């Protein structure tokens, strides 16, 4: 099922001063009804299954598939280029990020609707038809997601699935995590899909922007993707997320929303990380008191109690010592990253991301 471009225009207010489509339609070429954007970074083991799942669920005559690669240093591009897809790639490693990966694909997309996936996902066969029906039935619906089914349950994914957040449950939402099917017109009116400056929280930022324009999102009660994720050990993953700046995302979002009505929402989304920074401040104050009193026993006991209390609380909440320790490590990494992200400079998110086309081919049977 594909949308009719003549009837797909949403009743959402345009953001003044933003450009239209970022990539002009080729002269004489009819734009596709659907653009599928697959974000990749070192997904050589999983990209073939992802592409095959998309090919099986879409119509070759009305769909373009764009693999948006963030300068993988494995065989991701070579494997993807075996298929009838367009492969585009960042020109600079400095532009890597969750926001820039999606935005890279968006700036090449020509369809009326856009399906966004990660390269470690496989598209559930029944999702697209249901998502198109949902968009057809509600002109203010910007995007439709489904249930993200994790297939690799490391400690990180066990933590996520232990307490499923409300945003991951079916219903009307203010933003979507895990990709989905989006109506292109309001995204083009806004000027961009995802903020290229954000190393995380890019989907939350999109939701804030679209709800400000009068739109909303929906998560359907059926699988949209099967997510195979990473099997990196959890503490090594934390270090990798610092190096990749993923943990900077919350601070980058706060910086992006300074001076906007969405700042309050951004602060609320980071409340746990603000609580951790307050905890640090209290520990520092008690440590100063301990030093000023020449090592007073009372100050020492207070310091140890304040230091260990959050760990004990997480242990009790998670009902697992290992999960409690990991949760505290995660909170501390993200709180530090938030402070670092607040200091990062910004680029205009509507600005074209320097990139190259690595492979272009007409879609055919594979």
Residue-range domains of the chain with CATH:
34-233+348-359 (3.90.550.10), 263-342 (no CATH)
Q: What is d(CA 63, CA 6) in angstroms, rounded to the nearest whole number?
A: 17
Low-confidence ranges of the chain (pLDDT < 70): 1-29, 153-166, 361-366
Residue 318: the pLDDT is 83
pTM: 0.86
Please say whether the dihedral angle defined by the alpha carbons of residues 20, 21, 22 and 23, taken in this order, is positive or negative: negative
Q: What is the pLDDT of residue 161?
A: 53
Tokens of 152: 């690799």
Residue 287 makes CB contacts below 8 A (sequence gap 6+) with 303
What pLDDT is attached to residue 70?
98
Q: How far apart are CA 309 and CA 328, in angstroms?
A: 11
Which pair of tokens denotes residue 360? 């272009």
Predicted pLDDT at 18 = 35
Nearest to 39 by CA among 185, 196, 243, 153: 196
User: pLDDT tens-digit profile of 308-343?
Assistant: 999 999 989 888 888 899 999 999 999 999 999 999
Q: Retrieve residue 315's tokens.
A: 């242990």
Tell me whether residue 73 is exposed, middle or buried, using C-beta atoms within 10 angstroms of its C-beta: 0 to 12, 13 to 18, 19 or more: exposed
pLDDT at residue 166, as a whole number: 67
Neighbours of 358 (CB within 10 A): 15
Contacts of 264 (CB under 8 A, 6+ apart): none
C-alpha 147: how far from chain center: 15
What pLDDT is stored for residue 233 in this prediction? Answer: 81
Contact 276, 314 (CB under 8 A): no
Q: What is the C-alpha end-to-end distance of the chain, expressed in Å? A: 21
């Amino acid at each position: 099922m594909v949308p009719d471009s003549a009837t797909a225009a949403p009743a959402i207010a345009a953001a003044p001063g933003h450009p239209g489509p970022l990539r002009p339609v080729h002269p004489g070429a009819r734009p596709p009804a659907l653009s599928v954007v697959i974000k990749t970074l070192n997904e050589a083991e999983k990209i073939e299954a992802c592409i095959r799942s998309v090919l099986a669920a879409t119509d070759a005559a009305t769909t373009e598939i764009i693999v948006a690669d963030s300068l993988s240093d494995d065989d991701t591009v070579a494997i993807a280029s075996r298929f009838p897809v367009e492969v585009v790639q960042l020109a600079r490693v400095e532009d890597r990020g969750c926001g820039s990966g999606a935005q890279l694909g968006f700036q090449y997309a020509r369809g009326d609707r856009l399906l966004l996936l990660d390269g470690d996902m496989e598209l559930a066969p029944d999702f697209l038809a249901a998502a198109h029906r949902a968009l057809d039935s509600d002109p203010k619906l910007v995007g439709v997601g489904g249930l993200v089914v994790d297939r690799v349950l490391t400690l990180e994914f066990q933590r996520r699935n232990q307490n499923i957040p409300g945003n991951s449950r079916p219903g009307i939402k203010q933003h979507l995590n895990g990709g989905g099917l989006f109506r292109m017109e309001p995204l083009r009116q806004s000027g961009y899909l995802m903020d290229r400056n954000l190393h995380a929280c890019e989907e939350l930022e999109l939701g804030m922007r679209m709800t400000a324009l009068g739109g909303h999102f929906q998560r359907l009660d059926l699988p949209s993707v099967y997510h195979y994720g990473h099997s990196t050990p959890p503490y090594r993953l934390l270090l990798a997320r610092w190096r990749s700046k993923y943990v900077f995302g919350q601070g980058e979002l706060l910086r992006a929303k300074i001076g906007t009505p969405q700042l309050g929402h951004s602060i609320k989304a980071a409340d746990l990380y603000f609580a951790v920074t307050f905890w640090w401040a209290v520990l520092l104050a008690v440590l100063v008191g301990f030093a000023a009193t020449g090592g007073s026993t009372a100050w020492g006991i207070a310091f140890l109690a304040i230091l260990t209390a959050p760990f004990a609380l997480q242990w009790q909440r998670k009902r697992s010592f290992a999960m409690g320790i990991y949760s505290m490590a995660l909170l501390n990494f993200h709180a530090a990253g938030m402070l670092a992200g607040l200091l990062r400079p910004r680029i205009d998110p509507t600005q074209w991301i320097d990139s190259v086309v690595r492979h272009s081919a007409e879609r055919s049977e594979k």
